[in-house]
Amino acid sequence: MLSPDVTIGMSLSGALTPAGMGCSSIIPLIKAGFVDWIVATGANLYHDMHFALNYPVHTGSFKFDDTDLRDNDLVRIYDVVIPYSDGLMATDDILREILIQPEFQKEMGTAELHYLLGKYCAEWERKNKLKDVSVLAAAYRAGVPCYTSSPGDSTIGMNVAGVALRGCKLRMNPSIDVNETTAIVLAAKRSGGRSAVVLWGGGSPKNFMLQTEPQIQEVLRIKEFGQDFFIQVTDARPDTGGLSGATPSEAVSWGKVDPTKLPDAVVCYTDTTIAMPLFTHYALANHKPRKLRRLYDHRAKIVKALTKEYFAHNKVKMVDGSEPVLD
């Protein structure tokens, strides 16, 4: 999987950044070039900002009395405790001030949104004399695009909606994300390389990462075969029928995984916070860093290539009846 010709996508579900997985695992993988693009829950990227801002995130206990926590201005994420006023609301105040800046006053995909936020996170790290504490900052520096499959389903999206009431023109367009992520996978294949997915948990990020192949094959009608590498860590059972527990074998039926590569697919049923540090240590100890792909910088080029191939495989015109302009 870590061969130079493999483009690696990583999905992040569950409370990983609050649990410290950003500093311990995700950032080292980004810096080593072992992650080329990311799909994360918005919550993971929002809570990542606390670390860049040097706001407190505490180890606690799932046995805490939640009424007492509420009375003492604290919120709980299982065994992690974050101050409500001095953590969440303080982050929100800064985030809203950022979102009304001129560079945000347009329609964009979530990769661009998170890249711009990552620029601010990198500056906060510098001002706070911190190093490698923010996933957004690390992704910004490495040119790793970070997507969120449900941008409204997080405190970042909530704050975007909040400033919209004040006339902020920022609009997140999920179609941009669908086309860019699909273009990443197709570009990996058309360059003579291979595509890999590393899925931490399930949920919407897992599906958003895997739906790139059905988008290529089913919607755009471009001949393709599925992902070449599949690794998933999950605690979800397959027999309930949910996507989180769906096996790579099931994914083959959808065209998401190349059937000839199924014997090499790996599923580990455990807690991500157990497996991720072990996975990271093994990868870093056994493979030298890879050259950064900086896919964020190539988004326009690969989407243009995707568009050309779409029209080459489909005898369609633009919705207004005109011929597509492809040059």
Give the catalytic positions in this structure. Answer: 256
Nearest to 277 by CA among 12, 15, 29, 11: 29
Cα separations in angstroms, 53 against 72, 100, 126, 143: 22, 19, 10, 21
- Crossing angle of helices 90-99 and 155-164, rounded to 10°: 50
Nearest to 109 by CA among 167, 149, 140: 149
3-state secondary structure of 65: coil
Helix (H) or strand (E) holding 194: strand 194-200
| Dihedral sign computed on CA atoms, order 116, 120, 126, 128 | negative
Q: What is the DSSP string of 260-310?
A: GGGGG-EEEES-HHHHHHHHHHHHHHHSPPPPP--GGGGHHHHHHHHHHHH
Cβ atoms within 10 Å, residue 118: 26
